[in-house]
C-alpha cells in the first residue's frame, strides 16, 4: 500500500489521556500533525500513587476533549482521516476500556476503520516514527510497569531477551520518591534531587549482575534505600537536604549501572543474531532520565552500535506512538471491528514465559 495514511491515535492506559494525529507518506518522514496530552498528576497527588478508579473516570471525561483538540491542532476533520487507532491494552483496565469505547464510538459514527494497538508496541515502534529505524533492532523498554529487552523484527513480531523479575525501574523511582517525601511521578523528582547529590556516598546493591543473562531485579534496591533512610532518620531525627540528594543520586546510579550492564549483555546477544543492523533503542518513561540515557549511549559507543533515543516527549506516554503503531498495522492490512476487547495483560512476545511479578504497577504485561 503506497498511499498517504493519516490516523488519529488515542491513549488512556495509565494516567495520561492523549490524542494525536500522525500522517505518513511512503518515502517521506512521518509527520506528527498534533499531539495532545492531559495528565492526571494533580488528581492522584494526595494518594501517593495512581488510583485506578480516579484514572478511569478522568479518561472518560477527557478523551473527547483531547480528540477535538488534536483534530483542531492538525486542522483536520474526522472525514480527513483513514482510521482510528487506540490502545487496547495492556494497562489499567478502566482507562483502557474508556479509550476503546471512545474509539469504537468514533469509528461507528464516522465509518472509519478501527485499529487496536498494544501500548508496548507503541513504545517499541517509536524509533521507527522518530528515526525511521529499519527492522530488526534491539530495544530496551523501560517504564513504570515494564522493563524488558526486545528484538523488534516487525510491527507485530518481537522476541524478548530478558526483563525484570520484580519491580520495573519506573515503579522503583516512584516508590523511592514516596519514601523520601518527593512528589509523583517519582522519576523526574528523583532525577532533579540527584543533580546535587553524591552517587558514591551510599553503597546500593546492583542486583543480579553476578548472574548471567539479561534478567533484572529492582525491588532489593528499594529495600536498601528504605534501610538507609530509616538509619538517617533515627540518627538525625529526619532527612537533611544533602541526605535526600545523596540517596537519590546513589539510587539512580545503581539503576543506571544495572541497565547499562544488562544492555551490554543483551546487545552482545543481539549482535550475534543480527550483526547487519547494530542498533539499540530505548523507550518508555524511564528513558527520559538523562543519567540512564548517558549510560546506555556509552554502552553503544563501546560496541560500535547506533543509539536511538527518541525525544523525551515521545519516551513518556503519548498518543503519537499509538497513531504510528496503528499506521504500521494499517499498512499491513490489519483492522479490528466492534469486537475489539480491552486487555489488562498483553505481552509483546507471546512465546516467552511470563516474567515473575513483572509489571505489577497496573498489571501491564
Binding site residues, Zn ion, CB under 5 A? 143, 317
Q: State the nearest-atom distance from the C-beta of 103 to ligand KG4, in Å.
A: 19
User: Cβ(364)–Cβ(91) under 8 Å?
Assistant: yes
Residue-by-residue DSSP string for 292-333 = HHHHHHHHHHHHT-EEE---HHHHSS-SHHHHHHHHHHHHTT
Q: With binding defined as CB under 6 A, does residue 90 bind ligand KG4?
A: no
Nearer CB in complex with ligand KG4: 116/145: 145
Q: With binding defined as CB under 6 A, does residue 316 bind ligand KG4?
A: yes
Q: State the nearest-atom distance from the C-beta of 42 to Zn ion, in Å.
A: 20
Within residues 190-209, the interface with ligand KG4 by CB under 6 A covers: 191
What is the three-class DSSP state of 153? strand
User: Cβ(246)–Cβ(202) under 8 Å?
Assistant: yes
Q: State the nearest-atom distance from the C-beta of 286 to ligand KG4, in Å.
A: 4
Nearer CB in complex with Zn ion: 122/162: 122
Nearer CB in complex with ligand KG4: 136/145: 145
3-class SS shares of the chain: helix, strand, coil, % to 5: 45, 20, 35
Nearer CB in complex with Zn ion: 184/305: 184
User: Cβ(112)–Cβ(78) under 8 Å?
Assistant: yes
- In terms of phi and psi (left: phi > 0; alpha: psi -120 to 50; beta: otherwise), the region of 307 is beta
Based on its alpha-carbon atoms, the radius of gyration of the chain, rounded to whole angstroms, reads 20
Q: With binding defined as CB under 6 A, does residue 344 bind ligand KG4?
A: no
Nearer CB in complex with ligand KG4: 271/286: 286
Q: With binding defined as CB under 6 A, does residue 163 bind ligand KG4?
A: no
Q: Among 39, 48, 49, 188, which residue interacts with ligand KG4 (rule: CB under 6 A)?
A: 188
Q: Among 9, 170, 197, 310, which residue interacts with ligand KG4 (rule: CB under 6 A)?
A: 170
Query: 45: burial class by Cβ within 10 Å (0-12, 13-18, 19+)?
Result: exposed
Q: Among 5, 14, 296, 322, which residue interacts with ligand KG4 (rule: CB under 6 A)?
A: 14
Residue 185 binds which one of ligand KG4, Zn ion, none, with CB within 5 to 8 A depending on kind? ligand KG4
Q: With binding defined as CB under 6 A, does residue 48 bind ligand KG4?
A: no
Strand order in the sheet with 147-154: 157-163, 147-154, 137-142, 279-283, 306-308
Q: State the nearest-atom distance from the C-beta of 141 to ligand KG4, in Å.
A: 9
Give the C-alpha separation, 186 to 197, whole Å.
16
Give the binding site for ligand KG4 (CB under 6 A). 14, 143-145, 170-171, 173-174, 185-188, 191, 284-286, 288-289, 316-317
Amino acid at each position: 500500500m503506497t498511499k498517504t495514511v493519516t490516523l488519529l491515535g488515542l491513549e488512556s492506559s495509565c494516567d495520561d489521556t492523549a490524542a494525536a494525529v500522525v500522517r505518513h507518506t511512503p518515502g517521506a518522514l512521518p509527520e506528527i500533525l498534533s499531539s495532545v496530552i492531559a495528565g492526571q498528576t494533580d488528581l492522584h497527588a494526595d494518594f501517593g500513587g495512581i488510583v485506578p478508579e480516579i484514572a478511569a473516570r478522568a479518561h472518560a471525561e477527557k478523551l473527547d476533549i483531547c480528540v477535538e483538540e488534536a483534530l483542531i491542532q492538525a486542522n483536520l476533520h474526522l472525514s480527513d482521516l483513514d482510521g482510528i487507532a487506540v490502545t487496547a491494552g495492556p494497562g489499567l483496565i478502566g482507562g483502557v476500556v474508556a479509550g476503546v469505547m471512545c474509539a469504537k464510538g468514533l469509528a461507528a459514527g464516522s465509518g472509519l476503520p478501527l485499529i487496536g494497538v498494544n501500548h508496548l508496541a507503541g513504545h517499541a515502534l517509536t524509533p521507527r516514527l522518530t528515526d525511521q529505524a529499519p527492522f530488526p533492532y534491539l530495544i530496551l523498554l523501560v517504564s513504570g510497569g515494564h522493563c524488558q529487552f526486545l528484538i523488534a523484527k516487525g510491527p507485530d513480531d518481537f522476541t524478548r531477551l530478558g526483563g525484570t523479575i520484580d519491580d520495573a525501574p519506573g515503579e522503583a523511582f516512584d516508590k523511592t520518591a514516596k519514601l523520601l517525601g518527593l512528589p509523583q511521578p517519582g522519576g523526574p523528582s528523583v532525577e532533579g534531587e540527584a543533580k546535587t547529590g553524591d552517587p558514591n556516598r551510599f553503597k546500593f546493591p546492583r542486583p543480579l549482575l553476578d548472574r548471567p543473562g539479561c534478567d533484572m531485579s529492582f525491588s532489593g534496591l528499594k529495600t536498601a534505600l528504605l534501610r538507609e533512610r530509616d538509619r538517617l532518620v533515627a540518627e538525625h531525627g529526619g532527612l537533611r537536604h544533602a541526605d535526600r540528594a545523596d540517596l537519590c543520586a546513589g539510587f539512580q546510579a545503581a539503576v543506571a549501572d544495572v541497565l547499562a550492564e544488562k544492555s551490554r549483555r543483551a546487545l552482545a546477544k543481539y549482535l550475534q543474531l543480527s550483526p547487519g543492523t547494530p542498533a539499540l533503542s530505548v523507550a518508555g518513561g524511564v528513558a527520559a532520565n538523562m543519567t540512564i540515557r548517558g549510560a546506555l549511549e556509552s554502552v553503544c559507543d563501546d560496541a560500535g552500535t547506533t543509539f536511538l533515543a527518541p525525544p523525551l516527549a515521545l519516551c513518556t506516554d503519548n498518543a503519537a506512538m499509538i497513531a504510528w503503531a496503528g499506521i504500521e498495522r494499517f499498512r499491513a492490512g490489519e483492522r479490528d471491528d466492534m469486537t475489539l476487547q480491552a486487555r489488562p495483560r498483553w505481552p509483546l512476545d507471546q512465546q516467552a514465559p511470563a516474567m515473575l511479578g513483572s509489571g505489577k504497577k497496573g498489571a501491564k504485561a
